[in-house]
Chains A and B, each alone.
Chain A
Amino acid sequence: MKNITKITLSALLAAGLMTGCADKTERIDMHNDKGDQVMGLDYRDFDQAASEAIQSMLKSGALDKKDGSRYVLAISRVTNDTMQHIDTDQLIKKIRVELLRSGKVVVTTAVSANGAEDKMSMDARKLRENDEFNQNTVQKKGTLVAPDMSLSGKILQRNVAMDDGRQQVEYYFMLSLTEIKTGLAWWEGETVIGKRGSGKSVSW
């Protein structure tokens, strides 16, 4: 009986010690994060890629409309060609927000490569035949605005095995801004982010 009590107490003590040793969760200071780099993509990489793309786009003059008004931009396909499960909106949303702030562009959510981002623009128009709705408040035909420009791109990953057993991972953020009328790319940009680390690290 004494032995059982001893074993139980030892187990409890060990469990208590292990709990004490567990790392404390802490919130990242997103404004001044000096945390170690990871082999995969993290928010700092998306911030850098988005910031470089926006600066390059604004400097290029591709978004300066002669009459001072804004271009209507549609988001086309942005392919994730990496081994990671990332949502390309992590990059595109930052660019959209900043372009909207610039006053140069307004983004349509009624048209995109994957269908309407916000289906409500079309769904609300189905109320035209519905007597329950005041038809004066239903949108008239021909009011949606078609896009002038399209933003498309790709995020690419390339893994390189190094001689010393470590690995190098290169990420390419490639974006194009196309004028829909002519199909010509008015702006193109590429940001490369490279990381080097243990060959045992899994970058996906």
Chain B
Amino acid sequence: MMKKWLLVLGILTLFAGCAANKSSYAKVVDNKLKKEITITDIKERVNSDSGLKQLQITGTNDTDKYMKVRYRVEWYDKDGFKLDAIGEKWMELPVYQNANFTISIIAPTKAATDYHLFINN
């Protein structure tokens, strides 16, 4: 009986973990740009000194042209409420031809646990 409960608890924990990850994402919003750049990796960590979440989004420019793209990030607290931050405004990012690009962002406050990052042209 005990084993069954532990199994159910384990499955529930797994589902909870998946849900938390799903609420954060990074995506290219422009349809034309989607064919030109690709997000290849998203790294996250919480800085042990500051307690702030850090993001590093890596992508590639698959074309032969230099581009200046824009990105913005929305931050949410653990309950899904959106937090105000200057990072919500579009920021410019140089993306060189046939090369990787990196977006490095730090959360505006410790309360920021989830994010939505958008890349546009």
Contacts and interface: CB of A to CB of B under 8 A. Distances in A.
Interface of A: 31-32, 47-48, 50-51, 54-55, 58-59, 61, 63-64, 94, 97-98, 101-104
A92 B12 CA distance: 47
B52 A58 contact: yes
Which 8 A-B residue pairs are closest in the complex by CB-CB distance? A64-B49, A64-B50, A58-B106, A51-B86, A98-B86, A59-B106, A102-B109, A47-B89
A32 B50 CA distance: 31
B85 interface: yes
A45 to B, nearest CB: 11
Interface of B: 47, 49-50, 52, 54, 83-87, 89-92, 104-106, 108-111
A104 B47 CA distance: 14
Contacts of B110: 103
Given A58-B108, A102-B109, 17 more contacts: A47-B86, A47-B89, A55-B87, A55-B105, A58-B52, A58-B106, A59-B54, A61-B49, A61-B50, A64-B49, A94-B86, A97-B86, A101-B83, A101-B108, A101-B109, A102-B52, A102-B108
B50 A51 contact: no
B85 A98 contact: yes
Contacts of B91: 48, 51
26 contacts: A31-B90, A32-B90, A47-B86, A47-B89, A48-B92, A50-B86, A51-B86, A51-B87, A54-B86, A55-B106, A58-B50, A58-B106, A58-B108, A59-B54, A61-B50, A63-B50, A64-B50, A98-B86, A98-B108, A101-B108, A101-B109, A102-B52, A102-B108, A102-B109, A103-B109, A103-B111
